[in-house]
Structure 1
Amino acid sequence: MARGRESRDARMRERLTQEAARIMAVEGVRDFSQAKRKAAAHLGAPSTTNLPQNKEIQAALVEYQRLFGGEEQAQALHALRQMALEAMDFFAAFRPRLVGEVLEGTAAEGAPIELHCFADTPEDVVFFLMDQGIPFDTDQRRLRFDTDPVTLPCHRFLAGDAEVQLVVMDPKGLRQPPRSPIDGRPMRRASRSQLAEMLN
């Protein structure tokens, strides 16, 4: 009896993983928790005990993009990475690092370009944006480092058709990346030179 239930649970977990990955790829949902909830609702999952981990969904998302994204997704990703390179040149004074979907390769058209920038004070980036005449909105981003989550300013603006998101950190953040929401390990980041190599 227990073995049969475990088998059903494993099958449901796999279905939830695949559906959450599809939702993120097709519907543009970028929050893992939201994708899990929508997948559970779509599949009529009776409980949340079988919800997959973020890293399982990320692996399924990469595979989904490989199978179904095709040339269209590859072209969109290349264009976003090219725009990210230009944004990193523009914000070079703040030693930007690329993170998120555009770096990981799962971004499709409409995905945001996420940059970590480093400044002595958060106002330095605000003044730079204002001096350049760039309209922007500001909200907050919660990131986890070694201890409790930290709330950081995030400035959003449009560059062509792409949204750029600048999360501003203290310079010591260069040496200590926040934890990835995917697997809890230090977040993968790319410098300008590393991104340029990816584009070559």
Structure 2
Amino acid sequence: MRSPRQSNRGNASDLRRRIAVEAARLIAEQGLRDYHAAKLKAAAHFGPPDSLPLPRNGEIEEALREHQRLFQADSQPRHLARLRAAAIDAMRFFSRFEPRLVGAVLEGTADAHSAVCLHVFTDNLVELTSFLAENGIPFEQQDRNLRLDSGRSADLPALRFLAGDTALDATVFPLDGLRQAPLDRISERPMRRATLDALLDLAKPPSTA
């Protein structure tokens, strides 16, 4: 027989799982990209969010992959392939700025709501913005706060623009930012980055041999 303490732990674990599943649904179906906002909105379905056991980002990521596998098995892979093709074009375009692919397009969870997210590197932001202007590409610029490690964060410029109907988001690092990636919001470990060659390998169709 389970003790009351074990029962409470089980109930909390079950509720946290249900919140993660609902947050994943909101991300997949409504395009919420902020995991914290998604979990708070999901928790509101079950009671006051500040009194509930909120799932970790990794739990939401796992639930998102499961949701895509169950409910978007046809559409999500097509969107992912399209976005990876757009990422290849974008990385070739930005080749002089040492581009690296990050985020959902790299991790395989990108969908119709996702942007292609890049890290680009230069010690001269004007060189990059002038490059976009010279190519007739209008963009929006904002600051983005990223955690560099457990004790440091930094505000970095981020440029957003469209390539056809695909949204691209390029966070601009100084050149020495190539040495260490910022912390991932999900794993809290250094963010996974991919070069163009790595992306080309990833985008190859699976062998039928």
TM bucket normalised to smaller = over 0.9
Matched, 1:18 2:36: no
Give, in angstroms, the shift of residue 68 of structure 1: 1.4
What's the RMSD between the two structures over aligned residues? Answer: 1.2
Matched, 1:115 2:105: no
- Residue 43 of structure 2 contacts residue 52 of structure 2 at CA under 8 Å; is this kept in 1? no
Give, in angstroms, the shift of residue 45 of structure 1: 4.9
1:2-151 equivalences in 2 (<5 Å): 2-45=5-48, 47-146=50-149, 147-151=151-155
Q: Letter of the 2:142 partner, please give it.
A: D
Distance 2:199 2:51 in 1: 38
- Give the aligned length: 200
Q: Provide closer, same or farther for how the CA distance between residues 180 and 165 of structure 1 changes in structure 2, counting only shifts above 3 A.
A: same
Give unmatched runs, 5+ long, in structure 2: 205-209
Give, in angstroms, the shift of residue 46 of structure 1: 5.9
Out of 184-193 and 3-12, give the one that drifted further: 3-12
- Residue 99 of structure 1 contacts residue 114 of structure 1 at CA under 8 Å; is this kept in 2? yes
Per-residue Cα deviation, 1:93-140 (whole angstroms, up to 9, x for no partner): 001000111111111113111000000222221111111111111111
Out of 1-10 and 108-117, give the one that drifted further: 1-10
Distance 1:46 1:72 in 2: 32
Give the structure 2 partner of residue 189 of structure 1: 193
Give the structure 2 partner of residue 163 of structure 1: 167
Q: Letter of the 2:162 partner, please give it.
A: L
Q: Letter of the 1:194 partner, please give it.
A: A
Q: Letter of the 1:168 partner, please give it.
A: V
TM-score between the two structures when normalised by the length of structure 2: 0.92
Give unmatched runs, 5+ long, in structure 1: none
- Residue 23 of structure 2 contacts residue 42 of structure 2 at CA under 8 Å; is this kept in 1? yes
Q: Percent identity?
A: 44
TM-score between the two structures when normalised by the length of structure 1: 0.96
Give, in angstroms, the shift of residue 57 of structure 1: 0.7
| Over 2 Å off, 4+ runs | 1-4, 43-49
Distance 1:119 1:76 in 2: 30
